[in-house]
Structure 1
């Protein structure tokens, strides 16, 4: 009997070790339900090199979070009697990568994401949920412009489905009131920064604002390279259906070829006209042949960039790299997060 118990304990220990190995490299995504946080899914941690943004903007954002999470920062905040929290506002048009950057930050720093659906909470449940946050995490509040002040609420259509039942005062108290949780990184997103009450984005509540624009030439080049270049020099891939498999020996020639095609692609697509989501969707549709992408993009532009497939509908049919591109670069929003537990 003792031997059997020993075997069982060893088996359970092995299961625990396996589970820890599987989860340590993944980001846990929690969603709110009533006044509770429920695990929605675990996703593979996303690398920051898969985020297509101007390098200076990306570096500034990640450097700021890294400095905030530095253990020395905890002591500094305590010594100076300051609340230990940091707030970020990501703003810009839909499909420009706001939520995706948040998930990449979680992967980079090993943090879990608590994504709150503001349409499902009121002031009381918001306060409860905030108290139940762990000390180190990313709290993601999407479409923060849905929060209305008391005055604007009185003047708006009571039947509007876009507004949240959380009041402005309730949100502000939750962010930095007496009972606010310290240690978390607050990331808020909006497509309409002009609609935000100034009280929401004042310094101290929002410490850094990051604007997400339409695809610049630099981003067009980056998206093209990301889709067609190997993720590492050790990766074999099909660069073009008619060009065969790329191996390590001609990797440099492949990179040069893709760089040339990327420049041609960027020359044919007007900068600052399309969202990264539109560009990526087009490239994924031509992911087996970069040459076809370059040749066909002219007619795509002439049609106004119409006809691309919505990203979230492609997930089940894409290969691993394409799925990562969708999840990390662009097009991930609250609806996508809610569906991950069933899609994955």
Structure 2
């Protein structure tokens, strides 16, 4: 009986019952059926519990000391470009592709910060032989394209947690962390970070890895022109990468060659390192601005894009008419511009800022509007109780970011407009607009160049063979006439290039010089991109219909006024 008697008193049992609910019942149960006195094991249980929690704390502390003093690490935030570089490099690493725990997505970065601009059409073209594309019909080729578009390309990256791989014969740890305390999906996208680490106290290996990741990402773009767009979402304003486009040849821009050369040479002179030193020594702000003005469709934006390709600099697009941007956002975007870039402000005359200096000033264009009725509410007036309208960007705000005291330097500003007479004189003064280029309607020699560029076989073209077969048939027809008479106005001994040149002269002779924009001529020729003779034959009807449409628009405009 003494062997099975409990060794704890009633007061001790009451204390244990308070600490461990159900202790009295469990102890009586074990004592009655298994002859086990639970009180004998209480010291061991308490000791084991203390050792468990102590070991967990000691392990965490020792691990922290080890990573702090025996490991080198580099942290990357999702808001930085380095995040995209590293994820692009990791997604193509052989070891990381075989990891057990993966994160599957259709783009490299979550959230709206980085758009995956890898051209899927180029990937598709690389998978199919060029001769096969040229010979295949539309239905055959289109079925493959649709099948590809239905299934987006999956990209696999390591999931959250710690992964390791070999780099330059050394073990590197890749730690992907996502903050689970984020309250929204947007905040979760913002909270992700990456940590790469290796044994030792030297970070040289990690720096080399990040440099290789950046080089691999840049090499993917090649000589493409990178285009960014100013965007605001969920209260955050930043430049978002839109796409990487193949550079446009400067020769394809319809503009006087002397004007194009002057424009490009002026930018090159501005970007030369000696020019920056010259500006600095004389206390002149190192900025350069250009105004491209002319009718719509004359090539203003095309010249900006072509210049970015020639110089190899990124192109930044900003819409001043956006209702989501204010002056603080505009200042933030300009401050985040890198040096040696082109920022393009299109149609500044339509942004509603060209003739107002501040938020309280009335728009001069509105003040001079004679069509307002006496009983109508003025555009600047607000009904009683109405919510205040967002003011957006004022002219003074734009002038401050262009050449204010806190304005950044080293960038190239290009503004385009269809109506330069509507712009405020303060926006056009030297220092803000240093060179103005006027675009006009296409002349006869410009029309010839457009025609030749459309129908000439260029490097990289994948033609269906219709153009080449028509030229071969034309040659046979010429030779069948004894080699004397020309067919369709082309000499039988002419080369394909000479035939195109002759056809271009015939087409240009029908189009009145200085009456049509390059976009209008090109739009018409695209309707006959494989039939130059059809384009020449239909030119008269196109000219007639275009002039009638212009006349109707003019009459409608006169009636509205």
Scaled to the shorter chain, the TM-score interval is: 0.7 to 0.9
Are residues 1:243 and 2:441 paired? no
The 8 Å contact of residues 274 and 305 in structure 1, kept in 2 or not, is answered as no
Q: CA separation of 1:17/1:199 partners in 2, compared to 1, >3 Å: closer, same or farther?
A: closer
Report the counterpart of residue 125 of structure 1 in structure 2.
329
Report the counterpart of residue 329 of structure 1 in structure 2.
none
Q: TM-score, normalised by structure 1?
A: 0.78
Aligned-partner SS, 2:392 = coil
Are residues 1:269 and 2:493 paired? no
Matching residue within 135, 138, 141 for 2:342: 138
Distance 1:12 1:133 in 2: 22
The 8 Å contact of residues 452 and 501 in structure 2, kept in 1 or not, is answered as yes
Aligned-partner SS, 1:199 = helix
Q: CA separation of 1:225/1:37 partners in 2, compared to 1, >3 Å: closer, same or farther?
A: same
Are residues 1:5 and 2:163 paired? no
Distance 1:170 1:53 in 2: 33
Aligned-partner SS, 2:513 = coil
The 8 Å contact of residues 45 and 107 in structure 1, kept in 2 or not, is answered as yes
Are residues 1:280 and 2:508 paired? no
Moved more, 117-126 or 128-137: 117-126
Q: Which has the higher contact order (CA 8 A, sep 6+)?
A: 1
Report the counterpart of residue 226 of structure 2 in structure 1.
28
Aligned-partner SS, 2:363 = helix
The 8 Å contact of residues 95 and 276 in structure 1, kept in 2 or not, is answered as yes
Are residues 1:193 and 2:420 paired? yes
Listed one character per residue, the Cα deviations across residues 140-182 of structure 1 (whole Å, up to 9, x for unaligned) are 11111122314442762349xxx98211111111100011111
Q: TM-score, normalised by structure 2?
A: 0.49
Distance 1:138 1:209 in 2: 16
Matching residue within 254, 258, 262 for 2:496: 254
Matching residue within 227, 243, 256 for 1:54: 256
Q: CA separation of 1:77/1:14 partners in 2, compared to 1, >3 Å: closer, same or farther?
A: closer
Tell me the CA shift for residue 189 of structure 1. Answer: 0.5
Where in structure 2 are the equivalents of 1:177-326 lying within 5 Å?
Answer: 177-231=404-458, 238=465, 239=467, 241-244=469-472, 253-304=495-546
Q: CA separation of 1:166/1:136 partners in 2, compared to 1, >3 Å: closer, same or farther?
A: same
Listed one character per residue, the Cα deviations across residues 184-220 of structure 1 (whole Å, up to 9, x for unaligned) are 0000001111100011011111010011111111211
Q: CA separation of 1:251/1:236 partners in 2, compared to 1, >3 Å: closer, same or farther?
A: farther
Q: CA separation of 1:102/1:155 partners in 2, compared to 1, >3 Å: closer, same or farther?
A: closer
Distance 2:510 2:436 in 1: 31
Tell me the CA shift for residue 241 of structure 1. Answer: 4.9
Q: CA separation of 1:84/1:13 partners in 2, compared to 1, >3 Å: closer, same or farther?
A: closer
The 8 Å contact of residues 115 and 139 in structure 1, kept in 2 or not, is answered as yes
The 8 Å contact of residues 91 and 192 in structure 1, kept in 2 or not, is answered as yes
Aligned-partner SS, 1:31 = strand
Moved more, 27-36 or 17-26: 17-26
Aligned-partner SS, 2:431 = coil
Where in structure 2 are the equivalents of 1:72-83 lying within 5 Å?
Answer: 72-83=274-285
Tell me the CA shift for residue 14 of structure 1. Answer: 8.2
Structure 2 unaligned regions, length at least 5: 1-94, 96-163, 173-207, 367-378, 382-389, 475-491, 550-561
Q: CA separation of 1:74/1:15 partners in 2, compared to 1, >3 Å: closer, same or farther?
A: closer
Larger radius of gyration: 2
Report the counterpart of residue 328 of structure 1 in structure 2.
none
Aligned-partner SS, 1:200 = helix
Distance 1:202 1:211 in 2: 16
Aligned-partner SS, 1:20 = helix
Aligned-partner SS, 1:303 = helix
Q: CA separation of 1:270/1:79 partners in 2, compared to 1, >3 Å: closer, same or farther?
A: same
Q: CA separation of 1:27/1:264 partners in 2, compared to 1, >3 Å: closer, same or farther?
A: same
Q: CA separation of 1:109/1:19 partners in 2, compared to 1, >3 Å: closer, same or farther?
A: same
